[in-house]
């Protein structure tokens, strides 16, 4: 068993981070250039960490599989970023943002981490403004805000419907400045395939050069993984095509514990599936729920067009069930309510979809205002579906979107492998069992700008890690393992394509480890995934060779990892005999069908230790709540 020590600092909640910053060891400014740090991933967390570490004077090597650092999937976040500025004078505070996040996460996250997140949220907004991020402004020239799900204050900052893009470009430009100054070296088109651990400490990585196919070795004093989440285990998700779990999964297999893998977020407002050939799902920003009303027909199997259904025959189910939060109920609750309506036979025109209707808002505010607020989102909708949402309601349905689970990290964001840090969506740290809207951008940038630059210094100054050369035998061993796996994949020459396996896995995950889970289904899923994995290694057809651009090979290696990770997600869901946040076990619900937590038995983080594919050991980090009282989450 691994001994989990979260290293939460002593003291009052609001003093922990301040005290910790003071108590941390510092690296002499003149010595920082003697340290090399590897950052994998150039999304919000990776780019902001690379930029900030470069500014401090460290030598940073940053890796991305994209052709450009600007393409990381943070770019697709639409709605906004939270901060406790209280510019709206509506009662917001650091404590309220902390509380909303803990409650939104259904009391399954670490108090100290979440408080720190809320604490640094304000610095993030300042930082981004300073970098030239063109946030939306009011006529007086000050920053504008809007509301998001799970909060009763307006604390979300935004840049049209392209907030993620603008924040990422801010971090990307800050990193570019360090590239220009020679402090950051960027490696594009490199996919990390393993980490290298020497005597139990992370010392470097092994990557595949996606152009030449060569396996390359890089060493450093510390490694940061900022490689995003694993929602693509579902095949269809809002994640980008190339988002994958390989970096964190390979680190997991080298000893990093994987926390809460079953905590996945199914986002309520996505476009419904159009057919078999669908490659991914498109999100419609949650901000639409500020002015859109969600409804289905009261009548089962109602095939009428939405505009032909009279007002009194419509069920605005979120407003009915949760009058206080209404259409701004948190994501997990809204998604499940949509599923219930569809399972009840009341989906839009018999389909797996519900309506998101702007007619009332258009009548109240005029089409121009709605166009100003959501114009680009309405355009996206019309481009994809061919329907005009100004004329008839949008059709939406939940889709896998974000993964709260990830590699286990302590308060310093270090994994169970010393020297291996994990930032952003790739770690499990801040969102518990459900993430609130506009909090992913906040966490990615908090980790990269304001947490890791401090804590990594503490590691370097405290542990004084040495650097090993890439001709060390461990590097060669890992490289040989990767090459062997590559030739194995290429030599199978079976009957089924990589995507075929991925789609089948996705169906198992969506049906049995999706919005609602039960013991029987999860047990079946575990068996089916193990069987599918076995078949994959006998019957997949990976075409092409290894010394060239080979996208088929890239996908095959990622799917091989999903076929292991998927099983762990199901195992974790089976083990957690309660419902909380995005994890809904049908056996554990109230009479009204709400999630029923079991704090006595399950107020812990499950941190899984890899033994071999299909076999894990469970470690538990007990969650202590000293500041908030555990309560049943109510949005009524």
Partner 1 sequence: MEHKKLNLTLKVWRQHGPKTPGCFVTYPIAVSPDTSFLEMLDEINNELEKKGKEPIAFESDCREGICGTCGLVINGQPHGPIPRIATCQLHMRNFKDGDTIYIEPFRAKAFPIIKDLIVDRSPMDRIMEAGGFISVNTGSVPDGNAIPIAKEIASEAMDAASCIGCGACVAACKNASAMLFVSAKVSQFALLPQGKPERYQRVEAMVKVMDEYGFGSCSNTYACEAECPKGVSVKNIARMNREYFMSKIKG
Contacts to partner 1 from residues 543-602, by CB under 8 A: 543-544, 548-549, 551-552
Residues 385-404 that bind partner 1 (CB under 8 A): 386
Q: What is the largest CA-CA distance in the chain?
A: 74
Per-residue mark of binding to partner 1, 74-103 (x: CB under 8 A): -xx--------x-x----------------
Find the binder of partner 1 among 28, 89, 363, 383 (CB under 8 A). 383
Active-site annotation holds for 96 = no
Whether the CB-CB separation of 352 and 307 falls below 8 Å is answered with: no
Rg of the chain in Å (alpha carbons): 24
Find the binder of partner 1 among 91, 277, 464, 471 (CB under 8 A). 277
Find the binder of partner 1 among 11, 12, 25, 130 (CB under 8 A). 130
Tell me the closest approach of the beta carbon of residue 105 to partner 1, in angstroms: 26
CA distance 357 to 266: 21
Residues 178-207 that bind partner 1 (CB under 8 A): 179-180, 186, 188
Whether the CB-CB separation of 230 and 263 falls below 8 Å is answered with: no
The region of 32-40, 162-170, 250-258, 593-601 touching partner 1 under the rule CB under 8 A is 162-170
Tell me the closest approach of the beta carbon of residue 211 to partner 1, in angstroms: 6
Find the binder of partner 1 among 8, 18, 24, 136 (CB under 8 A). 136
Residues 6+ apart with CB under 8 A from 289: 149, 269, 327, 328, 334, 356
For position 380 contacting partner 1 by CB under 8 A, the verdict is yes
For position 160 contacting partner 1 by CB under 8 A, the verdict is yes
Pairing mode, if any, of strands 184-187 and 59-63?
parallel
Tell me the closest approach of the beta carbon of residue 159 to partner 1, in angstroms: 6
Tell me the closest approach of the beta carbon of residue 633 to partner 1, in angstroms: 31
Residue 363 tokens read as: 């009548």
Is the sign of the CA dihedral 435, 436, 437, 443 positive or negative? negative
The region of 23-31, 122-130, 420-428, 559-567 touching partner 1 under the rule CB under 8 A is 122-130
Residues 14-73 that bind partner 1 (CB under 8 A): 48, 51-52, 55, 66-71, 73
- Alpha-carbon distances of 313 from 91, 138, 223, 346, rounded to whole Å: 38, 39, 57, 12
Is the sign of the CA dihedral 429, 431, 433, 438 positive or negative? negative
Residue tagged active-site, from 250, 289, 293, 331: 331
Find the binder of partner 1 among 450, 584, 616, 635 (CB under 8 A). 450
CA distance 334 to 318: 7
Q: How many CB atoms lie within 10 A of CB 159?
A: 20
Name the residue nearer to partner 1 (CB basis): 229 or 465. 229
Residue 45 tokens read as: 């967390």
Residue 67 tokens read as: 């052709």
For position 2 contacting partner 1 by CB under 8 A, the verdict is no
- SS3 of 179-222: HHCCCEEEECCEEEEEEEEECCEEEEEEEEECCCCCEEEEECCE
Residues 459-498 that bind partner 1 (CB under 8 A): 493, 497-498
Name the residue nearer to partner 1 (CB basis): 553 or 574. 553
Find the binder of partner 1 among 27, 118, 125, 570 (CB under 8 A). 125
Q: Which residues are catalytic?
A: 331
């Amino acid at each position: 068993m691994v001994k989990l020590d979260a290293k939460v600092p002593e003291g009052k909640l609001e003093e922990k981070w301040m005290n910790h910053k003071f108590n941390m060891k510092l690296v002499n400014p003149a010595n920082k250039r003697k340290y090399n740090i590897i950052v994998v991933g150039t999304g919000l967390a990776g780019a902001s960490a690379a930029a900030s570490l470069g500014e401090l004077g460290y030598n940073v090597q940053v890796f991305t599989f994209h052709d450009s650092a600007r393409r990381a999937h943070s770019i697709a976040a639409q709605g906004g970023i939270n901060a406790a500025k209280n510019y709206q004078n509506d009662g917001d505070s650091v404590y309220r943002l902390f509380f909303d996040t803990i409650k939104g996460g259904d009391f399954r996250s670490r108090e100290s981490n979440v408080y720190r997140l809320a604490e640094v949220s304000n610095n993030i907004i300042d930082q981004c403004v300073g970098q030239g991020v063109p946030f939306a402004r009011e006529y007086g020239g000050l920053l504008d805000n809007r509301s998001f799900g799970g909060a009763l204050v307006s604390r979300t900052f935004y840049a049209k419907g392209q907030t993620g893009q603008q924040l990422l470009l801010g971090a990307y430009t800050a990193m570019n400045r360090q590239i220009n100054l020679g402090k950051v070296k960027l490696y594009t088109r490199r996919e990390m395939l393993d980490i290298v651990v020497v005597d139990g400490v992370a010392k470097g990585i092994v990557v595949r050069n996606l152009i030449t196919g060569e396996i390359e070795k890089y060493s450093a004093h510390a490694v940061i993984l900022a490689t995003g989440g694993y929602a693509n285990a579902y095949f269809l998700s809002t994640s980008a095509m190339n988002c994958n779990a390989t970096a964190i999964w390979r680190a997991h297999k080298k000893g990093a514990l994987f926390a809460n893998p079953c905590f996945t977020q199914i986002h309520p407002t996505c476009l419904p599936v159009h057919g078999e050939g669908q490659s991914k799902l498109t999100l419609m920003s949650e901000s639409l729920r500020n002015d859109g009303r969600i409804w289905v027909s009261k009548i089962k199997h109602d095939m009428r067009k939405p505009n032909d259904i009279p007002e009194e025959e419509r069920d605005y189910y979120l407003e009915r069930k949760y009058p206080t939060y209404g259409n701004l109920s948190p994501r997990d609750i809204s998604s499940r309510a949509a599923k219930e309506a569809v399972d009840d036979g009341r989906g839009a025109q018999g389909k797996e979809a519900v309506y998101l209707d702007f007619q009332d808002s258009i009548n109240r505010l005029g089409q121009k205002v709605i166009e100003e607020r959501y114009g680009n989102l309405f355009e996206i909708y019309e481009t994809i579906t061919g329907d005009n949402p100004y004329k008839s309601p949008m059709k939406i349905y939940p889709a896998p979107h974000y993964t709260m689970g990830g590699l286990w990290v302590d308060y310093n964001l270090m994994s169970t492998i010393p020297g291996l840090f994990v930032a952003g969506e790739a770690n499990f740290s801040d969102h518990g069992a459900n993430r609130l809207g506009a909090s992913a951008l906040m966490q990615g940038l908090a980790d990269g700008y304001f947490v890791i630059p401090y804590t990594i210094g503490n590691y370097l100054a405290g542990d004084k890690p040495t650097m090993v050369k890439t001709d060390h035998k461990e590097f060669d061993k890992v490289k040989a393992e990767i090459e062997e796996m590559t030739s194995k994949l290429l030599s199978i020459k079976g009957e089924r394509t990589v995507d075929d396996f991925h789609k089948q896995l996705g169906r198992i995950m969506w049906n049995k480890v999706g919005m609602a889970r039960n013991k029987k289904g999860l047990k079946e899923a575990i068996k089916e995934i193990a069987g599918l994995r076995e078949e994959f290694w006998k019957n997949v057809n990976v075409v092409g060779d290894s010394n060239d651009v080979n996208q088929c090979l890239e996908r095959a290696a990622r799917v091989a990892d999903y076929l292991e990770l998927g099983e762990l997600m199901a195992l974790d869901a089976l083990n957690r005999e309660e419902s909380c946040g995005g994890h809904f076990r049908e056996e554990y619900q109230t009479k009204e069908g709400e999630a029923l937590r079991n704090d006595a038995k399950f107020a812990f983080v499950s941190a899984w230790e890899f033994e071999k594919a299909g076999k894990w050991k469970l470690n538990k980090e007990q969650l202590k709540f000293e500041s908030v009282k555990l309560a049943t989450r109510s949005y009524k």
